[in-house]
Structure 1
Amino acid sequence: MNKFTLLIVVLCASLCPMGTYAQEVVRRVISIEEMFTLADRNSKSIRPGITGVSEAAEAVKVAKNARLPEIDASLSFSYIGDGWMSDRNFSHGMNAPMPHYGNNFAIEATQIVYSGGAVSKGIAVAKLQEESARLNLESNRDKVRFMLVGYYLDLFKQQNMYRVYEKNIEQTKQVLRDIQAKGEQGIVLKNDITRYELLLSNLELTRTQIQNTIAILNNNLITTLGLSVGVVIEPDTTTITRSLPVEDGDSWTNKAIATSPLLKQMSLAVEMSRHQDKIIKSERLPKVALFAGNRFDGPILIEVPPINKNFNYWYVGVGLKYNFSALYKTNKSLNRSKFTIRRNEEQYADAREQTELSVNSGHIRYMESYVQLNTQQKSVELAGQNYTVIRNRYKNDMALITDMLDASNSKLAAEVELVNAQINIVFNYYNLLYLSGTI
């Protein structure tokens, strides 16, 4: 073996394991419920909502701090210059010696006793904002889940379509072989063979497009679910065979009104605006606080001449504060608050109405999908029977090639629509779950 041949062998040996690894594919069957669990744990679209809930929880703690006492302390040292005294007409001025080194230490604690409800309402608003953050997380989670259901069922649909096209391609190839055999005998025109070859080419092109769509959907799913690049998701085949609940429209509507995250958020917005209104009104009420403090000063400068000694004293008391300007300043704020409450109430009423309409429409489509399934099952049965009859007639030279083309296309379309009808039932069911906030 020469050196060149040896080099080729070494390169092949080193590249083969890499190629095997790059082409390694792991097929994984995932149910919709398992997909939801993976999304809750790994989806980047849900993580900001989780952080938002933690942020809102901390905001509640911050709001509760208003109930704690305020404690202020100060410490200072100073140099005091000599003073100067004179008569009221600035005559007979003279220097007044002063102690030059001064010190001050003060500490004071204040506890709010009554604030007109501003503190308690502020805490209540923070708690409502925390609940709103949770509902926002729930809403984002529902959106991600519904998006994944769309990818999942579309992947299911495309994979089933791929198998249908594979089957029809094999059937078309068999028919083409039969036609070509007859063509060699001079029984079939070359034009008929060409038309069937064109049909086969179109089927293979569509199969390639379906393969590309499957690759795109699979990539969307594994990226959102946080799975490895080499994973190929296989939908659970029991998804379209299991029995789904069929409830009346009113039940779905009542469920949506009770559980919809959007409606709950709108309701919280109304409640928060009412609390804000009470906070504004509290500005017109007096504020009462208890206070206690201690001061340690020196020297004593309030005496003439000054006394170069330290002076310590403490005090406790109750303070009353009233902002008279609030009587005329809060009027416009209160008027604005009333319009805010009304706007939020109107938005809630509109959201409720739109939710009821959406659920009603979704329920109608859900029930319609069962009718569509029954129709497609009958269509597949009839298309299959028609294809068998036409093919037998064609073999016996009792039908034209165009009849075979029409029968084959009808059979293909019926089989594809049957799969679509089965998946549409599942999609419409999860659409109802999404609209009602129970997905």
Structure 2
Amino acid sequence: MSKFTLFIMTLCASLCSTGIYAQEVVRQVMSIDEMFSLADRNSKSLRPYATGMDEAREGVRVAKNARLPEIDASLSFSYLGDGRMMDRDFSNGFDAPMPHYGNNFAIEASQAIYTGGAISNGIALARLQEENANLSMESNRDKIRFLLIGYYLDLFKQQNQLRVYEKNIEQTRQVLKDLQAKEGEGIVLKNDITRYELLLSNLELTYTQIRNTITILNTNLTTTLGLSEDIMIAPDTTILTRVLPVEDKESWTVAAYANSPMLKQMSLALQMAKHQDKIIHSERIPKIGLFAGNHFDGPIIIEVPPINKNFNYWYVGVGVKYNFASLYKTNKSVSRSKYTIQRTLEQYEDAKEQTELSIKAEHVKYMESYVELNTQQKSVELANQNYAVIRNRYKNDMALITDMLDASNSKLAAELQLVNAQINIVFNYYKLLYISGTL
């Protein structure tokens, strides 16, 4: 082998090893609280709602601007042509020379004193919108957290299932090896080997599908959390040993009434509808305001002949404004507002009822998951006893290897279902937290 060929092979090996190293997957154990904290900081889905909070905060400042005085100023320069005078029957006309250059400067200020509650209710409405934006942020944060809980616990299940299939594949390969050895002795038929080869093929296919599912779930988690895809998240197994509170459904219902972002938003919608109703009623109330102004005009063209001089004057006063059209225009708006309030109240009561029903249903499932756990614990106990008996019989040549395989698979499956039952308890608990708004 030439030195050049050796150099090329060494370089290729170096590049390949570098590429493999760059794609190395890093396993990271992550607790649920750590996952929530990362999601709150990095989730792109929450950013629009954070911006919406800033937008609503500025909306309050804009609404408060209605309390500030209005100041208008204008400045203009003009060229005036000569006038023409004539009798009323348009006869005896003659030209009337005028000063040709005109100017106008005016400044006016006004301050609302009483608006029938339009300004104060507008500010209150803006503040409620700000609070609603905060609740939207909280609601969508809970949605993302609950979505992540689903990914997280499903990933936990899939990783456990992967280990079970790894063990099953290993055992099936060992059985095939033993059967192939016995085939040479004429003890085992080819059909038996074919059956286990098909079983192994199906196990390997399912194993691949589980790995792909794990990859998808992990990608969903890392993307939402703002982490690199090279990180493989490993759920914290200590969640299975946590003692979760078992409260009655009435306590969960009370918590939901007090904390549910959805119910809070419905309550805010009702308050907003009432403030909007007050704004509509304020259209029927006279508006009172102060005003002041100063004008500097020239020339004075209201005199004949015009006076080529500047004229400055100022004024202050109190004004009352009333829109008589509101007497017949706002009736429909008032009637519509009344129905809006009624509809919003009915939606709020319906939301409370639906929340209570959801709490009751999920509480039943939560308590049912403890029954499932007890059942699976008994199944594991029985599967272990069965495995011990078959294993002892197999050692004494009183059982076939297939019996040993079945007993082992039953034991692994029971252990897997036990872990899944423990995970279901955690999921149902967090679902109750999500519905009650305490996630």
Please state which band the TM-score falls in when normalised by the shorter chain. over 0.9
Q: State whether structure 2 residue 254 is matched by structure 1 residue 254.
A: yes
Aligned residue in 2 for 1:418: 418
Q: 1:398: how far off? A: 3.4
Q: 1:91: how far off? A: 2.8
Work out whether residues 192 and 401 of structure 1, in 8 Å CA contact, stay in contact via their aligned partners in 2: no
Q: State whether structure 2 residue 304 is matched by structure 1 residue 304.
A: yes
- Deviations, residues 32-75 of structure 1 (Å, cap 9, x unaligned): 00101110111111111101111111111111111111100000
Aligned residue in 1 for 2:107: 107
Aligned residue in 2 for 1:407: 407
Q: 1:85: how far off? A: 1.8
Aligned residue in 2 for 1:327: 327
Q: 1:78: how far off? A: 1.0
Aligned residue in 1 for 2:393: 393
Aligned residue in 1 for 2:89: 89
Partner AA of 1:430 in structure 2: Y
Work out whether residues 28 and 232 of structure 1, in 8 Å CA contact, stay in contact via their aligned partners in 2: yes
Aligned residue in 2 for 1:60: 60
Aligned residue in 2 for 1:127: 127
Distance 1:384 1:187 in 2: 30
Partner AA of 1:100 in structure 2: H
Q: 1:400: how far off? A: 5.3
Partner AA of 1:427 in structure 2: F
Distance 2:172 2:242 in 1: 33
- Deviations, residues 375-405 of structure 1 (Å, cap 9, x unaligned): 1011011112212323433454434566445
* Secondary structure in structure 1 of the residue aligned to 2:245: coil
Q: State whether structure 2 residue 114 is matched by structure 1 residue 117.
A: no
TM-score by length of 2: 0.94
Q: 1:170: how far off? A: 3.4
Choose 286-295 or 304-313, whichever is displaced more: 304-313
* Secondary structure in structure 2 of the residue aligned to 1:243: coil
Q: 1:339: how far off? A: 1.1
Q: 1:2 to 1:180 in 2, by over 3 A?
A: closer
Distance 2:346 2:76 in 1: 58
- Deviations, residues 137-161 of structure 1 (Å, cap 9, x unaligned): 1111111000001001111111112
Distance 1:95 1:322 in 2: 45
Partner AA of 2:169 in structure 1: I
Work out whether residues 383 and 414 of structure 1, in 8 Å CA contact, stay in contact via their aligned partners in 2: yes
Alignment coverage as a number of residue pairs: 439
* Secondary structure in structure 2 of the residue aligned to 1:116: coil
Distance 1:190 1:137 in 2: 64
Distance 1:411 1:185 in 2: 31
Q: 1:174: how far off? A: 4.2
Q: 1:327: how far off? A: 0.3
* Secondary structure in structure 2 of the residue aligned to 1:306: coil
Choose 308-317 or 391-400, whichever is displaced more: 391-400
Distance 2:66 2:410 in 1: 74
Q: 1:388 to 1:378 in 2, by over 3 A?
A: same
Choose 391-400 or 223-232, whichever is displaced more: 391-400
Distance 1:25 1:80 in 2: 84
Q: 1:193: how far off? A: 4.2
Aligned residue in 2 for 1:432: 432
Distance 1:163 1:343 in 2: 54
Partner AA of 2:312 in structure 1: N
Q: 1:308: how far off? A: 1.2
Distance 1:159 1:110 in 2: 71
Distance 1:401 1:25 in 2: 37
- Deviations, residues 148-191 of structure 1 (Å, cap 9, x unaligned): 01001111111112222223333444455455555555554444
Work out whether residues 196 and 405 of structure 1, in 8 Å CA contact, stay in contact via their aligned partners in 2: no
Partner AA of 1:209 in structure 2: Q
Work out the percentage of aligned pairs sharing the same amino acid. 76
**Structure 2 unpaired stretches of 5+:** none
Distance 1:150 1:382 in 2: 30
Q: Counterparts in 2 of 1:170-181, with a 5 A limit?
A: 170-181=170-181
Work out whether residues 164 and 413 of structure 2, in 8 Å CA contact, stay in contact via their aligned partners in 1: no
Aligned residue in 2 for 1:204: 204
Work out whether residues 84 and 93 of structure 2, in 8 Å CA contact, stay in contact via their aligned partners in 1: yes
Distance 1:347 1:409 in 2: 53
Work out whether residues 38 and 225 of structure 1, in 8 Å CA contact, stay in contact via their aligned partners in 2: yes
Distance 2:21 2:193 in 1: 43
Work out whether residues 53 and 133 of structure 1, in 8 Å CA contact, stay in contact via their aligned partners in 2: yes
Q: 1:342: how far off? A: 1.1
Q: 1:7: how far off? A: 5.3
Partner AA of 2:72 in structure 1: D
Aligned residue in 2 for 1:21: 21
Distance 1:207 1:312 in 2: 93
Aligned residue in 2 for 1:382: 382
Distance 2:186 2:399 in 1: 17
Distance 1:12 1:170 in 2: 35
Choose 232-241 or 381-390, whichever is displaced more: 381-390
Aligned residue in 2 for 1:348: 348
* Secondary structure in structure 1 of the residue aligned to 2:104: strand
Distance 1:111 1:17 in 2: 77
Aligned residue in 2 for 1:78: 78
**Structure 1 unpaired stretches of 5+:** none
Work out whether residues 165 and 203 of structure 2, in 8 Å CA contact, stay in contact via their aligned partners in 1: yes
Q: 1:382 to 1:198 in 2, by over 3 A?
A: farther
